[in-house]
Chain A
């Protein structure tokens, strides 16, 4: 009894702020490292800080997205319902990191390559999106996240209605596939990390397929 009381109190009072700060932590760390770098202090960004930044933000966005997809299976397996209260903010954090990832690509790559010309930056963006498959895929994933982020507020959920909101947010599945492909097509050679991300995503999507197949075969599912 005592244990479940603690868990209930944690879910009610601590889960949301704790999740927020955990999600903010990678960004705060990165900002801190850049502050150290720009002040000439020892930092952890390595010998190619811009590349480190791109990879760190991209990995963080993708991994948070995978975590957001793991919330529902986690709830089903543990039957700890409060976890679903943080699902939306986890998904939204994936969007914020993806936005930073795109901003870093625009600002630290394209803008510098175009000698600080904004027009040149957008020309470079268009060329990359049109020509380079991993950027096409990544940009499609990012653009796909935008409507989901815009509709992530309570007012939007009410305005759309739960049913339509859910249908819209199923877009996260193809977006996650695009994001993993973006990573895989970016790497040189056959690297392990995209396979690991892809494997985890396959498990998370496979779980949903199995669950929906089971639900269909049982016309009157129990309360779960």
Chain B
């Protein structure tokens, strides 16, 4: 299980030859067809068949509506000044070396199995202390006409790092549309959970579903970002499709993937890794070279795709002190790790 498998020629190449609106829904259409075949076989209820077929059709039309230029397969976005001087991590590493335990604990498992997750249509449940709550389609949560690119450093708690060009929208702009009230002191997020589509969740590696959270002022910080794409294209499933958080000054596991729920809450929410090992993973989880993980040092990091025989010095707040240090003024960041 620790062998790296070279990507098959068909992996990640469909975009080159097939309009996105077509291939993104091929799975749903096939699933609907499969459902039709099964229901036909057992001869019970044409209604179910009809329902799944129409769901597939609806899915195709929403995807088509979302894509202004389906022929290119890419996303339309504006460039921003958010960048770092370090070289970008090659896309095959960004999409082939992932921690997404819902698909298995090996780094190559998500790239192998995440395609089993259906991400279109996608909706997000919004609840808690906010003016607008309920279930919203992804297109109503993220303004696909206002996408921007941000090149951020990603620092994993396992002491490796990447530099990734994300496409998305500022988290603040998304949260504000739901009109959070004064009681909303924290925002909690939840990852999609389906035991059939996410084979890693059949074993209790963590207490599924994966949950994360931010203090409201952290969530409203200019750096907090909701990504729907990377390297100019929609997020591959293994990177948290169709929508994920990116908080670059915190360890990677705070940047929760495949979000299905956003809750505005008054108490500090539970977070998945904190529940699993509170002494190792705190609520804040800010990148901090001075606070060692109980099982390894956090002073340096291995740059994925970089020189094997060199390690990068890890920076406080992953190098984003200027933008975020004020959030933690007066706090003991070893105690509040």
Contact = CB atoms under 8 A, between A and B. Distances in A.
A192 interface: yes
B93 A47 contact: yes
Nearest to A46: B4
A50 B107 contact: no
Interface residues of A, number: 29
Interface in B224-270: none
B105 A47 contact: no
Nearest to B205: A189
A186 interface: yes
Nearest to B310: A112
Contact of B297 (A44, A113, A191): A113
B311 A47 contact: no
B97 A47 contact: yes
Interface in B160-215: 160, 203-206
Interface in A22-45: 42, 44-45
A146 interface: no
A185 B309 CA distance: 26
Contacts, number: 77
B308 interface: yes
Contacts of A48: 97, 107, 160, 302, 304
Given A47-B107, A48-B107, A59 B2 contact: yes
Interface in B87-111: 92-93, 96-97, 101, 105, 107-108
Interface string A186-200: 111111110000000
- Interface residues of chain B: helix, strand, loop or mixed (majority): loop
Interface string A95-119: 0000000000000000011000000
A187 B304 CA distance: 20
Contacts of A47: 4, 92-93, 96-97, 107, 304-305
A52 B106 CA distance: 10
A192 B204 CA distance: 9
B62 to A, nearest CB: 34
Interface string A125-139: 000000111110000
Nearest to B96: A47
A73 interface: no
A190 B4 contact: no
B291 to A, nearest CB: 13
B300 A190 contact: no
Contact of B206 (A49, A185, A189): A189
A51 B93 CA distance: 14
A113 B107 contact: no
10 contacts: A47-B96, A50-B302, A50-B308, A51-B302, A132-B295, A133-B294, A186-B295, A190-B203, A191-B105, A191-B205
Q: When A and B form their complex, which 8 residue pairs have the shortest distance between CB atoms, in order from nearest? A: A46-B4, A47-B97, A47-B93, A189-B205, A132-B295, A192-B203, A55-B2, A191-B105
